[in-house]
Amino acid sequence: MHMIPRSFPTRRRCLAVALAALLGAAGPALAQQAASTKTLRIVVPFPAGGGADVLARQLAEALSKRLGQTVIVDNKAGVGGNLGTDAVAKATPDGSTLLFTPPAPIVQAVALYKKLPYNPQSDFTFVSDVAQARVVCVVNPQLPVKTAAELFAWTKANPGKLAIGSWGAGSQPHLVQELFDKDFGTQTLHVPYKGEAPLITDLIGGQIGMTCASATALKPHIAAGKLRTIATIGPTRAAALPEVPTFAEGGYKQEVLQLTGPFSLLVPAKTPPEVVERLGREVVAIVRTPEMTKQIEALGMEPVGNTPAEAAAGYKARLPVVVKAIRDTGATLD
C-alpha cells in the first residue's frame, strides 16, 4: 500500500493560499490596466458650444494623443450644471469618467441649494485646474463714467437708476451688485438673465446699464466701442484685456472683487491615487505645451495646469469666501 505523506495536504493548502494572495495583490493592478484601455469620458455639465465645452474638446484631443486612448466629451446639461456633476459623482471611480466644469456646480451650488444630490467637498477628487476665466465689468457707453470711482459716485448720486444684469441669482455679477449696495451705499437694480448672450445684447441696447461678464464674450464688443470697460475682477489684469485695470488698482480690495474661478478637471472621490496623479501629470504637460497655451489664450482665458494637491488647496480656500458672499445676498435656488 502506498501511503500519501501527511505533508501533502499541507503543501497543497500553502500553494493555494500563496496563489490566492498573489491574485489578490494583482487585482488592483489588473483593474487599473483594464481601466487604462477604456474610453475616457469627460462630462461637461453645460450645453455644447460654450467655453467649457470648447476647452474640454481641446483637452480631450490632447489627452487622447498622450494616453493612446479614445477620449470623448459628453455634454450632460441641466439644473445649472448639477445634473452632469451628479452623474460623475456617482460614476465608477476608475478614472474613466471625469468632470470638466467652471466653479458654479461645485462652489456656488453649495450656497444656492439647500439640498444637492452630491457633495462637492467629499464626492470628488481634483485632477487639475486647466484654465482661469476672467471677468470684466463694463457699462453702456451712454453712462457718463469711465472708472470705478466715477461709477460709484454717479450711482450714489442717482439712486435706483443703475440696472446691473447677471446670468442668475448668486452669479458673480449678482454678488458684485449686492456688494455695491452694501459697501458703497448705492441703490442699484438686479436684472437676472438666462445666460451671457441675452445679457450682453440688452446691455448694448441700453435696457440695462452695467454687467460683469467673461472677457471672452465682451472683448469684441469692447473693441467695437459698443461697451466701455470699468475694471477687471481678480488680483491681476486679464491677459485678454491687459489695458483694463483691476478694482484693486483703484483701491477697492473687497474679496468679491478679487475672486477668480478656474475650469477644473475632477474624478469621483474613490478613484485610485495613482490614476489621479497620472492624469494630473498629463494635464499639466498638456497645458504647458505652446499649442494648448495658444488655444486657451484664444478663448480669452489664462492657462493654469496645476497638480491635484494644488487644485484641491485652491478650491478649499475659495469655497468659504464665495459661500459667505452668496449667503450675504440671501440668494437661493431651492
- Are the C-beta atoms of 173 and 202 separated by less than 8 Å? no
Residue 64: helix, strand or coil by DSSP? helix
What is the phi/psi pair of residue 96, to 5°?
-90, -15
pTM of the model: 0.78
CB atoms within 10 A of CB 253: 12
- Are the C-beta atoms of 301 and 51 separated by less than 8 Å? yes
C-alpha cell at 24: 489578490
pLDDT in tens, 143-191: 999 999 999 999 999 999 999 999 877 788 998 998 999 899 999 999 9
Domains present along the chain, CATH in parentheses: 38-132+262-329 (3.40.190.150), 135-257 (3.40.190.10)
Taking all residues of the chain, what is their mean pLDDT, rounded to a whole number?
88
pLDDT in tens, 21-70: 444 444 444 344 444 568 999 999 988 887 889 999 999 999 999 999 99
- Fill in the amino acid letter for 181: D
Cα distance between residue 289 and residue 304, in whole Å = 12
Cα distance between residue 221 and residue 95, in whole Å = 41
Q: Between these two residues, 54 and 194, which has the higher pLDDT value?
A: 54
pLDDT in tens, 73-113: 999 988 889 999 999 999 999 999 999 999 989 999 999 89
What pLDDT score does 195 carry? Answer: 75
* pLDDT of 122 above 50: yes
